[in-house]
Homo-oligomer: A and B are copies of this chain.
């Protein structure tokens, strides 16, 4: 068993619910990839090495044939207090990645050297990110002169001011988690069973939330009331909820995007929604795939590690 030919290092995106791995060659090309649902929450603080080997074991050479350890670069909640080992936050303003922050995780397998990328923190106003700093680094690898604001939609959406390659400041909005809780676990779930998406309802939700963001908790219940009294369809209900929450986020994040060069980084369906909402404000923003950004960011981390080890 000589393992996967040309394997130079392994990229790992290890979040709360998912573990994704890529086998990379020296030129930064993907040789193979795999994923599992063994996220940090499922592991409960133990078994990280086994969960990783379950995905990458087949790529590795026989232990008897090994010369040196293969670098594994991992980002996300794997570096949190509840993860493999804590990679302490670095404080902004700072570069999204730095050799000094990489933390070696304890491994028993002699073939691996696992490095965790630390998240970023901000003291005032208190805020944290883990994983998004790698996407930011990946975006900047392709656009090193970018000076503006990055929005990374998701469970905990981030808005980050970028200047001279550094993350100057950032702010987190719980928009994605609120959408999941309200659409799946609140009284609103009754009106959201079924498929469909009503773009006009999304646009109206954005508009009303931007105009009167303080009414959010009342507008949310109106989705239920209109379902009962006026037959609001599930597709309109879900789109309205999304529009209300994204509109409220845009209202709160206005100091970030107003008059700025803004780029969206994330899953395509989600960045498209944010792009549509920002277009209502007259903003034209570029959209970048989050998966591509993660891989580009981990590749940048690999280059930094190579410098460090030189």
Listed in ascending order, the chain A residues whose CB lies under 8 Å from chain B are 81, 89, 121-123, 125-128, 156, 171-175, 177-178, 181-182, 185-187, 212-218, 220-222, 224-226, 228-230, 245, 248-249, 251-254
Q: Is the CB of A218 within 8 A of B171?
A: yes
Point out the residues of chain B lying under 8 angstroms from A215, CB to CB: 252
Nearest B residue to A182 by beta-carbon distance? B181
- Chain A: interface secondary structure? helix
Known: A123-B229, A156-B187. A217 touches B128 (CB 8 A): no
| Docked complex Cα distance between A175 and B185 (Å) | 14
| Structural contact, B125 and A222, CB atoms closer than 8 A | yes
A252 to B218 alpha-carbon distance, docked (Å): 7
Contacts of A89 in B (CB 8 A): 229
Complex Cα distance, B186 from A129, in Å, reads: 16
Check if A221 sits within 8 Å of B181, measured CB to CB.
no
Bound form: Cα–Cα A230–B218 in Å: 32
Give the residues in chain B near A121, CB-CB below 8 Å. 225, 228-229
Given A177-B186, A216-B248, residue A172 in contact with residue B126 (CB < 8 A): no
For residue A152, give the distance in angstroms from its CB to the closest CB of chain B.
Answer: 13
Cα–Cα, bound, A254→B215 (Å):
10
**Chain B residues in 8 Å Cβ range of A212:** 252
CA A55 to CA B216, docked complex, whole Å = 40
Given A185-B181, A186-B181, the answer on whether A174 and B214 have CB atoms closer than 8 Å is: no
- Residues of B near A214 (CB, < 8 A) are 213-214, 248, 251-252, 254
